[in-house]
Amino acid sequence: MNSVLKAACCACLLSSSPAFAQADPERNLPLWEIGLGGAALSTPAYPGADERVSRVLVFPNVVYRGKVLRADRSGIAARLFSSDRAELDVGFAGALPSDSDEVDERDGMPDLGPLVEFGPRLKLRLADLGGKRRLRLELPLRAVIEARGGLHGRGTTFEPRLAYEMAGERRRWTLEANVSAVLGDRKINRHFYEVAPQYATASRPAYAADSGLLLTRLGLFGSRYVNEDLRLFGYLRFESYKGTANRESPLHVKDSGVSGGLGLLWTFKRSAARARGTATVDPSL
């Protein structure tokens, strides 16, 4: 699933996480920062769709560097455990809504509302490659909730992700490349791919979805500071839907999809208080 809805509720748009380090660089950084962000995004309406969803978003740019509660490039999370090599938190992600009347294959079916994902994530530092280059593994397990006419449970996803990240001096630029696979239970796959009998047509037969692979993904994310208060960022992501559990669904019409976005973050207020730090997070990445 795409995860760009988190742009509207945290300081950055993508699933890009800070790396681990043995030093404690956060002690000299503000405890919190506040600003505004804006971005233009484009993504498939859902995995395997032919139509796209494009949005221009304006959102709060909030950073909070508490020992437990965190709001940063990694999203909004409560850190439960942290060491030099591992970190466990509970956080949020999400996906943009899609109107069925704008998607030919779903015409006459219920809209796909915005999705909020919530659950634990284990982050492991696999290797420090020197020169501000690191390799990490993330293992997020998320419960998915649809916010459309109330809140409705839509199943569970698991997305193991391997990421390579690097940064320039004094955090002037950052770059991350990652590869991941998204696995879903039967309930979330039904949300995207099932065709109930009452929605079946001559060109869209009824279909019962199965649990299993939703997609595999290659992603690239980068950012660069223009000055102390302004940062540009962008991402590009390629998704493959070949070999997925529900490729025979009449709603699965494409074997690949591309997402992308560009944006700007502006910080206009910082706290005088300094972050206490935990000797684990390196804000240079």
Q: What is the pLDDT of residues 3-13, one digit of tens each?
A: 444 433 333 33
Q: Which residues of the chain have pLDDT under 50?
A: 2-25, 278-285
Q: What is the pLDDT of residue 131?
A: 82
Q: Distance between CA atoms of 112 and 192, rounded to whole angstroms?
A: 8
Indicate the length of the chain as a whole number. 285
Q: What is the pLDDT of residue 284?
A: 37
Q: Distance between CA atoms of 180 and 226, rounded to whole angstroms?
A: 30
Contact at 8 Å (CB) between 202 and 112? no
Q: What is the per-residue pLDDT across 217-245, written as a single tens digit (0 to 9) for each?
A: 999 999 999 998 999 999 999 999 999 99
Q: Annotate 141-204 with three-state secondary structure.
A: EEEEEEECCCEEEEEEEECCEEEEEEECHHHCEEEEEEEEEEEECHHHHHHHHCECHHHCCCCC
Q: What is the pLDDT of residue 27?
A: 53
Q: Is the torsion defined by CA of 184, 187, 191, 194 positive or negative?
A: positive
Q: Annotate 221-260 with three-state secondary structure.
A: EEEEECCCCEEEEEEEEEEECCCCCCCCCCCCCCCEEEEE
Assign residue 247 the CATH number of its domain.
Answer: 2.40.230
pTM of the predicted model as reported, rounded to 2 decimal places: 0.82
Compute, in degrees rounded to 10, the torsion defined by CA atoms 280, 218, 61, 125.
0
Contact at 8 Å (CB) between 224 and 231? yes
Q: How many domains does the structure of the chain reveal?
A: 1
Q: What is the pLDDT of residue 15?
A: 35
Q: What is the pLDDT of residue 170?
A: 72
Q: Which structural domain range is residue 217 located in?
A: 4-282
